């Protein structure tokens, strides 16, 4: 059986992977029948061995491969302008993997996991026939309220419409953070309905996560949400200069990511160069992909101007931050 799970919504993608994985983590075999491969680096021989190995004390085996689709999409994009021989070699490379996938034994379940992938990628088209393919797109803000309501219900809680609206504004469509905040709210309210006041009291995301969400709100022009997020961070004790420095850092990372991507660096190389953990890397990738280099540079310049205005006394802190939010959201 072959599953292909891809798309930018890594929360839902991970949940789908967890569902598939159930039943393979057998305590009696110590998890030896579950193997995860780095698709960016694995060789065809290692891949073949993993897929064709006979299960140990079981009739099934699970092989999870992360990043293989993206690996070949990147290579194929580089083919134009290169020597024909090189393009032929790259095509032969992914076709070797495709041939192996088509001939995996019935005892092996193979799960291909990846982020955003072009649906016309030759490798994806080559292996998709007969596979269970699921694409996970990011939730739009219109769909977010119903997702919140469903997630609260699954966690054993109830929530009012006003609380849903505020929660959506404060957290946005980062489902990892949203699920964590919902769990805290359900635990805090202990059976009663979650109200707006509970959201205001409990939803205190880590500052780094708050900065990611604030950047998203600003870049999407959501002035009201950005203002609320800014006030939330300030109330948690974050100084205006600290927020400006964190925002500037995040924009700078997104700019660097775009530049490294243009140099055809791999995801692993970019992550190493930027020194980011997995979650910040995912968020920075989303933001770098969503906006142009010119947009990111304009945001960065405005942040520097505001920082200078505060430090020289041109504006009081609160006024400077309010002006910053309005100007950035209107750009």
The torsion angles phi and psi of 312, rounded to 5 degrees, stand at -90, -5
| Mean pLDDT for the chain overall | 82
31-45, 72-86, 290-304: least confident range: 72-86
Burial (Cβ within 10 Å: 0-12, 13-18, ≥19) of residue 74: middle
Are 247 and 295 in contact by the 8 Å Cβ rule? The answer is: no
Are 64 and 34 in contact by the 8 Å Cβ rule? The answer is: yes
* Per-residue confidence (pLDDT) for residue 233, from 0 to 100: 77
What CATH number should be reported for the domain holding residue 264? 1.20.272.10
292 shares a domain with 276: yes
268 shares a domain with 167: no
4-8, 102-106, 131-135, 172-176: least confident range: 172-176
157 shares a domain with 122: no
Tokens of 12: 């839902």
120 shares a domain with 10: yes
Closest listed residue to residue 233, CA positions, set 252, 205, 253: 205
* Per-residue confidence (pLDDT) for residue 209, from 0 to 100: 65
Percent of the chain scored above 70 by pLDDT?
Answer: 88
pLDDT digits (tens, 9 = 90+) for 261-299: 999 888 888 888 887 766 678 878 888 888 888 888 888
Of residues 207 and 250, more confidence is placed in 250
Give me the domain span that covers residue 291: 229-330
Of residues 285 and 152, more confidence is placed in 152
d(CA 216, CA 283): 10
324 shares a domain with 253: yes
293 shares a domain with 179: no
72-76, 123-127, 129-133, 224-228: least confident range: 72-76
Domain total in the chain: 3
pTM exceeds 0.85, yes or no: no
82-96, 142-156, 250-264: least confident range: 82-96
Quick check: is 222 in a domain? no
Quick check: is 75 in a domain? yes
- Domain boundary among the residues 135, 165, 192 is at 135
pLDDT bin (cut points 50, 70, 90) of residue 67 is: confident
> Is residue 138 scored above 70 in pLDDT?
yes
Segment of 25-29, 169-173, 218-222 carrying the highest mean pLDDT: 218-222
> Is residue 148 scored above 90 in pLDDT?
yes
- Domain boundary among the residues 135, 164, 187 is at 135
pLDDT bin (cut points 50, 70, 90) of residue 219 is: confident
Alpha helices in the chain (DSSP H): 10-21, 44-52, 68-77, 84-102, 122-128, 144-154, 161-171, 175-189, 196-202, 207-219, 223-235, 240-262, 267-274, 278-290, 293-311, 317-330
Quick check: is 217 in a domain? no
* Per-residue confidence (pLDDT) for residue 82, from 0 to 100: 47
- Domain boundary among the residues 80, 104, 135 is at 135
Quick check: is 224 in a domain? no
The torsion angles phi and psi of 253, rounded to 5 degrees, stand at -65, -40
Of residues 174 and 47, more confidence is placed in 47
102 shares a domain with 77: yes
d(CA 133, CA 184): 33
Tokens of 110: 């193979």
Quick check: is 321 in a domain? yes
Closest listed residue to residue 148, CA positions, set 159, 137, 140, 135: 159
Of residues 191 and 329, more confidence is placed in 191
- CA-atom Rg of the chain in angstroms: 23
115 shares a domain with 77: yes
What CATH number should be reported for the domain holding residue 81? 3.40.50.300
What CATH number should be reported for the domain holding residue 142? 1.10.8.60
Percent of the chain scored above 90 by pLDDT?
Answer: 24
* Per-residue confidence (pLDDT) for residue 158, from 0 to 100: 96
- The residues, ordered by sequence, that sit 6+ positions from 243 with a Cβ below 8 Å of its Cβ are 211, 214, 230, 233, 234, 321
9 shares a domain with 61: yes
Average pLDDT on 21-44 reads 79
Quick check: is 211 in a domain? no
Quick check: is 271 in a domain? yes
182 shares a domain with 275: no
pLDDT digits (tens, 9 = 90+) for 187-209: 999 999 999 989 888 875 445 56
19 shares a domain with 128: yes
Measure CA 101 to chain center: 27
Measure CA 68 to chain center: 17
3-state secondary structure of 64: strand
pLDDT digits (tens, 9 = 90+) for 78-134: 444 444 444 445 555 778 898 989 888 999 999 999 988 877 778 888 888 888 999
127 shares a domain with 39: yes
Quick check: is 326 in a domain? yes
């Amino acid at each position: 059986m072959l599953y292909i799970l891809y798309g930018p919504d890594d929360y839902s993608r991970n949940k789908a992977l967890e569902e598939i994985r159930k039943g393979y983590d057998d305590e009696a075999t110590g998890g030896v029948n579950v193997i995860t491969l780095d698709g960016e680096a694995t060789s065809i021989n290692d891949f073949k061995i993993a897929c064709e190995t006979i299960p140990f004390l079981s009739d099934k085996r699970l092989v999870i491969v992360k990043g293989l689709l993206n690996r070949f999409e990147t290579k194929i994009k580089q083919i134009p302008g290169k020597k024909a021989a090189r393009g032929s070699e790259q095509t032969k490379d992914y076709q070797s993997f495709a041939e192996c996938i088509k001939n995996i034994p019935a005892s092996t379940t193979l799960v291909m996991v990846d982020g955003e992938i072009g649906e016309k990628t030759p490798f994806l088209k080559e292996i998709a026939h007969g596979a269970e393919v699921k694409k996970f797109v990011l939730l739009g803000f219109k769909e977010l309220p119903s997702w919140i309501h469903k997630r609260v219900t699954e966690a054993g809680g109830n929530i009012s419409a006003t609380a849903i609206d505020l929660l959506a504004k404060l957290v946005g469509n980062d489902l990892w953070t949203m699920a964590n905040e919902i769990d805290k709210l359900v635990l805090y309210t202990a059976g009663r309905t979650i109200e707006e006041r509970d959201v205001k009291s409990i939803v205190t995301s880590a500052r780094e996560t708050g900065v990611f969400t604030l950047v998203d709100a600003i870049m999407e022009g959501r002035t009201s949400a950005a203002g609320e997020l800014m006030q939330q961070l300030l109330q948690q004790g974050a100084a205006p200069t600290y927020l400006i420095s964190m925002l500037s850092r995040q924009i700078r990372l997104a700019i660097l990511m775009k530049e490294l991507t243009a140099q055809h660096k791999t995801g692993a190389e970019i992550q190493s160069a930027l020194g980011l953990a997995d979650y910040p890397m995912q968020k920075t990738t989303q933001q770098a992909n969503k906006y142009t280099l010119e947009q990111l540079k304009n945001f960065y310049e405005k942040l520097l101007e505001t920082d200078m205005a505060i430090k020289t006394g041109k504006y009081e802190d609160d006024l400077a931050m309010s002006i910053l939010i309005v100007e950035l959201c209107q750009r």
